[in-house]
Each structure stands twice: as C-alpha cells, then as structure tokens.
A = this chain, B = another copy of it.
Amino acid sequence: MNENNGIFYGIGVGTGDPEYLTLKAVRLIQQADVIAYLKSDKGVSIARDIASEWIKEQQQIIILMPYKTNRDAANKAYDTAENKISGYLQQGLSVAFICEGDPLFFGSYIYLHQRLSQHYHCKIVPGISSINAATALAQIPLTQQNETLAVVTSRNSDEEILSVLDNHSSVVIMKAGIARPRLLALIKQSKRLENTCYVQRAGQKGEVVIHDVSQLIGKGDYFSLLVVR
C-alpha cells in the first residue's frame, strides 16, 4: 500500500440519538478531511443528521443510494463512491464514511470496505448497534450466563426463523416492521408471543416500544426489530 495515501475510516454513529456517538467517532469526524455518507433518493441521510453537529469545514462526498430490493443499482452507487473516495485518498486526504449503527453489523460500510480495504489503510470505529439501542430503550436483558442469542432478519425464510425460535433463548429479528404480520404468526406458532417485544426507531424521534405485541396490527417501520426472550 502507498503510505502517502490517506486513511479510510468506517465510523459507526449509532442508531439516531446524537448522544450515542462515541468520543472516538466525534474526534475522527472532526479531524477528517472528507466526510462521506449515504443519501436516499428522497434526500434523507440519517447518518449525516446524527453527526451534523460535528460536520463543519470538511469536504463531503454524498453517495446517492436508491433504496430498491434489486442490488444492481446499489452496487453501481457503491462503485461510483469507491472512485470518488479513492480520488481523495490518493491525494493523501483522510475520508470518514459515517454509517448508522455499527459499521460491520448489517452496515453499509461493509460494501465500501470490500471495495477499498485491499488498496488503502482502513480503520473502523464501532457504533451503538440497533440491538443494543433497542434493548436499552425497552429495558430487556438480552443475554446472560449460558443463554444463546440468534439474530435473523425478516429476509430469512419461515423455516430459518422457526428454527432459531426453537433453538435459542434470545432471538432478535431485524427489519421486522416490514414483515410484521408474518413474523408475529411465526412467533405465535413457537408459543413465544408473550415474551416478545417490538421496538421501532430506537434512539430516533418517534421511537416506539410495544411490550404487548398481540395488539399490533399490520406492518410497521423498516427500522425496527422484534426481541424474543
């Protein structure tokens, strides 16, 4: 690797509350020459909003991200971002990509790391993940002693979700809102509905905790999860 190139930082900024930023994230965001972040086609950048207090004079790379289920458009957006970020790194400038939650836990940073880490020095700063934010808000002990935890998403099959519900003392289902009726039916089938909690947008405005999930009707938000204890 060329030692004159800048360092690429992957920085977790947590789930929404600007106070969930770590001291390290704040310092590195302030010191970075360039800040990069995703922006949806609706003009929303959650990561930018979370860290806005610390973004002043730095140059910015806005990565326009179409939120579609088809991955082609997303891959193209990451390819474009790779080129832009490389350009700055080759000038010896440091680039900090800010990422909701934790960068390596379902984080968008992963796609850039895969493209850039072979060519440039990368440093990663962990962030408060949605699991930790949600359980803190709902005050649910997640795991202790010899309990086991499984984390799945609403993208997994019925069979996969039923299997983890049968085999783990704690189960978290990510991105739960968009498939809520289906997921609650699976949890009911596993006889664990009474020990299930729904959390939406933990640490963000309009955060929601529902301890009695039997009252939930229809779909919910994308940024949400079910915790089964």
Contacts and interface: CB of A to CB of B under 8 A. Distances in A.
A27 interface: yes
Contacts of A133: 126
Interface in A93-152: 102-107, 110-111, 113-114, 117, 122, 124-129, 131-133, 135-137, 139-146, 148-152
Contact of A135 (B104, B135, B140, B143): B104
A17 B156 CA distance: 35
A148 B164 contact: yes
Given A148-B150, A148-B151, A160-B148, A105 B19 contact: no
Given A24-B17, A104-B141, A127 B132 contact: yes
Chain A interface size range: 35 or more
Nearest to A203: B126
Contacts of A113: 139, 141
Contact of A148 (B23, B117, B135, B152): B152
A168 interface: yes
A177 interface: no
A6 interface: no
A220 interface: no
Contacts of A80: none
Count chain B CB atoms within 10 A of each CB in A104, A126, A163 and give the residue with the most: A126
A132 B26 contact: no
A58 interface: no
A155 interface: yes
A135 B131 CA distance: 16
A153 interface: yes
A124 B136 contact: yes
21 contacts: A17-B24, A18-B23, A20-B126, A21-B22, A22-B128, A102-B136, A104-B132, A104-B142, A114-B141, A117-B139, A124-B139, A125-B136, A126-B128, A126-B133, A126-B135, A126-B136, A146-B155, A148-B156, A149-B150, A150-B150, A150-B168
